[in-house]
Amino acid sequence: MKWFWRFIFTLVLIAGWAGLGYMYADFTLGSPKRNKPVEVVIPPNTSIQEIGDILKEKKLIRESYFFRYYAEYKNITNLKAGVYEIQPQETLPEMLVKFSDGEQSLVKVTIPPGWNAKQIADRLGKLGFDEKGFLKALNDKQPKYNFEMEIRKDPKRPYRLEGYLYPNTYQFRKNAKPEDIVNAMLEQFAKRVDKLQVRDKLKAHPLRSGMSIDQWVTVASLIEREGKVKEELPRISGVIYNRLNSRTNNKLMIDASVYFMKSMEGKSATNLKNLRQIKGPYAAYNTYIHSGLPPGPISSPGEAALKAALNPEKHSYEYYVTMRNCTGKHYFADTYTKHQQYITLSDRNAKKYEDKCRAE
């Protein structure tokens, strides 16, 4: 019978230790009481043990090493970097699922190069941000960066900060204020200004002598909207500068500026005919009528277009027209006669490649 009592004693001992172990694990993994949400930032390439350390530091768990054991036991180890908002009632299993799913308290917003302020505002609105407040901030916000103070107020410009909303992928809090969103985009633009040494280069190049930051961004925005092939951007830039510095041919005649003008009026910008006669509240953007640059940028240029506006290709071209052969490239000409020949060729290409381009 002794063996029987020893067996019973061993079972009781094991059960007791198991119970104590469970209570200890429950205590160490459990969250201390809290009455408000806690923000948790998990940087990229953070290990499970390091995540446990972060949770302990935030007082969401009591012991970090038990967090690693628990995550491995549950086979939930693919935890994603990001910013998370942990609610007061959330348990450790719920936190693990949130980290594994990447359910962040931030909203990812991607702004492609070439978008204008209205397009950006529309995307923000669809993601739950204050669309109208964003557009209002473009005209009303207090300047934070030096270049903002150099942008003159002009009633001909729909939005003062048009062109400075740097195209990038951002992560904003769900309740982000419009001004904070604008400043985040301006911060990225400011970094490019420093990186490209813009002020020094604007002074150094004879074609750009005396240009302001705003004029440079305006040129870049035109390049962004006109060019489809990266390698052509410096050449398009050269055409624009050649026109601006021409005594006899300084009307840019850029379709994209007219499309911008009509889109700001809330009107369709497709199939525009007789561009020289198109007028409206923002008629100053019609580069078929007015010489020189439009009142301001027409889009948010990316880094390639910004660089091209700083480093135009040196040539004698003053005209270009799209090839319309599905490549996105252009024919460039230094005389109006040659330009007309290329327009005819472009029209032929349009018919020849119509089906192919539509399929693509």
**At 84, which CATH number?**
3.30.1490.480
85 and 136 part of one domain: no
Domain membership flag for residue 358:
no
137 and 267 part of one domain: yes
What's the Cα-to-Cα distance from 257 to each of 101, 145, 226, rounded to whole Å? 44, 27, 9
83 and 207 part of one domain: no
91 and 124 part of one domain: no
Domain membership flag for residue 300:
yes
Domain membership flag for residue 351:
no
Q: For residue 146, with 0-12 CB atoms within 10 Å meaning exposed, 13-18 middle and 19 or more buried, which class applies?
A: exposed
Q: How far is residue 113's CA from residue 91's CA, in Å, rounded to a whole number?
A: 42
What's the Cα-to-Cα distance from 156 to each of 168, 222, 261, 347, rounded to whole Å? 27, 17, 10, 35
Q: How far is residue 98's CA from residue 156's CA, in Å, rounded to a whole number?
A: 48
Other Cβ atoms less than 10 A from the Cβ of 47: the count is: 11
Domain membership flag for residue 146:
yes
Q: Quick one: pLDDT at residue 208?
A: 60
149 and 256 part of one domain: yes
* Domains identified in the chain, total number: 2
Domain that holds residue 79: 28-104
Q: Quick one: pLDDT at residue 1?
A: 53
Q: Quick one: pLDDT at residue 25?
A: 44
| Bridge-based pairing state of the strands 330-333 and 319-322 | antiparallel
Domain boundary among 75, 104, 133: 104
pLDDT tens for the chain, 360 residues long, are 555 445 454 544 454 444 434 434 443 445 566 788 888 888 888 898 999 899 989 888 888 877 888 888 888 888 888 888 888 888 888 888 888 887 777 788 999 999 999 999 999 999 989 999 999 999 998 889 989 988 988 889 999 999 999 999 998 987 889 999 999 999 999 999 999 998 888 877 656 667 899 999 999 999 999 999 999 999 999 999 999 998 888 899 999 998 898 888 877 655 556 666 677 788 899 999 899 999 999 999 999 999 999 999 999 999 999 999 999 999 999 999 999 999 999 999 999 888 888 776
Q: How far is residue 189's CA from residue 167's CA, in Å, rounded to a whole number?
A: 9
Q: Quick one: pLDDT at residue 98?
A: 86
Domain membership flag for residue 173:
yes
Q: Quick one: pLDDT at residue 221?
A: 98
238 and 185 part of one domain: yes
Domain boundary among 57, 74, 104: 104
250 and 307 part of one domain: yes
Domain membership flag for residue 252:
yes
The distance of Cα 309 from the centroid of its chain, to the nearest Å, equals 20
Domain boundary among 300, 315, 330: 315
Domain membership flag for residue 11:
no
Q: Quick one: pLDDT at residue 3?
A: 53
45 and 149 part of one domain: no
137 and 220 part of one domain: yes
190 and 285 part of one domain: yes
91 and 225 part of one domain: no
Q: Quick one: pLDDT at residue 273?
A: 63
68 and 156 part of one domain: no
Domain membership flag for residue 215:
yes
